[in-house]
Amino acid sequence: MKSLILALVCLQLSDALMYRVPLTKGKSARDTLREQGLLDDFLREHYSDPCAKFDGLTGVASLSSTEPMINFLDLSYYGTISIGNPPQSFTVIFDTGSSNLWVPSVYCSDAPCSNHTRFYPSSSSTYRSNNERVAIQYGTGSMTGILGYDTLRVSDITIRGQELGLSLTELADSSTKSKFDGILGMGYQSLSAEGATTVLHNMISQQVISEPLFSVYLTRVDGESGSEIIFGGVDPSHYQGSINWVPVTHQAYWQIEIQRVTVNGQVVACSEGCPAIIDTGTSLLVGPTNAITNIQQAVGATPGSYGQYNINCNDLSSMPDVVFTINGNDFTLPATAYALKSTYNYQVSCMSGFGDTGSNLWILGDVFIGEYYSIFDRGNNRVGLAKAV
């Protein structure tokens, strides 16, 4: 989240400066849950309120670093970090919809902790803590823990004395089956629980990245490699055309303003403008109930179970685009972007990537980010959007 009024040529990065890390391709978590008879329970929990986490949450060389991410069930993207000396490795969600870093710890015996990698403070020579407590509530669970400080490594970036939460309790049935251990929040400092210093703030203050920004590229196929977050730079090979810059209207989440939403040239939502956030930690594109219902009807989606809407996979070529007008520019989502495909026992099904929040806040999650390469410019407090390739 940083400064950038550079010409495009200044944003181009050589491979030598992008520090790419290989991705692991694994079995679809959707198929794993279905085989174990747990998919319905997972969907019931996840879709009960997909946005509840937003209620009450509280001279340098030209450097950038790329952290690969893995697409998990089209619900989250995660990558690897390490904490401590010697390093202890964890997989985390890089979440622009929150601001705290936390991982499971040896102090926690709850099922979500025991099923994941746990941090051992006594094994790190650089760990320190004043035993201050932290509590964070998410839509699909919560954590309580203590705050500590240790060395953090993200790709080839090393951050000294990073503040992090070590879980004492974790409540989330579905997280026992998740592929990630913890969460690395990339929101603004004002959103951080207990005022814990964010990873991005330390990256900037310790001058380990050359530009105060990061960019996100998401693939949209389960297990597919290529997704990545780049700290301190932008990769032009991930987008085409120009970058459209949108001012941040409220510095907590990465919040912007949508001017209107149209289908077939007709306004179906946001006729007078509406607030929205760009959130890598939300799978769907969600908004107020009435507005989302209008969109579902306009594209021909039909109601299904657990708040989902179904789409006929054979109709994608004839289904209309949904257009979001933001800062005077149109961002089009074709049916191939908002229809989420799933294959099981050789049967292909599609569900709508739109969901409702029950509030006035729109969340442009992975359905949107997968279509538009997103740059989070902290220095200029703006978001850059460009057509992903």
Which pLDDT belongs to residue 139? 58
- Tens-digit pLDDT profile for residues 8-38: 223 333 333 333 322 222 344 555 665 666 7
Which pLDDT belongs to residue 35? 62
Mean pLDDT value across residues 228-252:
95
Every domain range in the chain assigned CATH 2.40.70.10: 8-231, 236-388
- Tens-digit pLDDT profile for residues 312-362: 999 999 999 999 999 999 999 999 999 988 777 778 889 999 998 778 899
Among the ranges given (174-183, 220-229, 261-270, 313-322), the one the predictor scored with the smallest mean pLDDT: 174-183
8-231 carries CATH number 2.40.70.10: yes
- pLDDT of residue 187 exceeding 90: yes
What's this model's pTM, rounded to 2 decimal places?
0.87
- Which residues fall within 8 angstroms of residue 338, CB to CB, at 6 or more apart? 285, 299, 322, 352, 353, 354, 367
Q: How far apart are CA 224 and CA 72, in angstroms?
A: 9
For residue 312, give Cα distances in angstroms to 155, 296, 315, 318, 354. Answer: 41, 13, 5, 11, 15
- Tens-digit pLDDT profile for residues 70-121: 655 555 678 899 999 999 999 988 899 999 999 999 999 888 888 899 999 9
Check: CB of residue 238 under 8 Å from CB of residue 373.
yes
More confident residue, 178 or 192: 192
Cite the active site residues. Answer: 95, 279
Q: Which residues pair with 137 in a beta bridge?
A: 142
CA dihedral 227, 259, 310, 350 (to 10 degrees): -20
Which pLDDT belongs to residue 27? 43
Half-sphere exposure at residue 125, Cβ-oriented, CA atoms within 13 angstroms: 3
Of 2.40.70.10, 1.20.120.850, 2.70.98.60, 2.120.10.30, which CATH number belongs to 236-388? 2.40.70.10
Which pLDDT belongs to residue 74? 54
Mean pLDDT for the chain overall: 83
More confident residue, 159 or 62: 159
Which pLDDT belongs to residue 223? 62
Estimate to the nearest angstrom the gap between the alpha carbon of 361 and the chain centroid: 17
Mean pLDDT value across residues 232-259:
96
Which pLDDT belongs to residue 331? 98
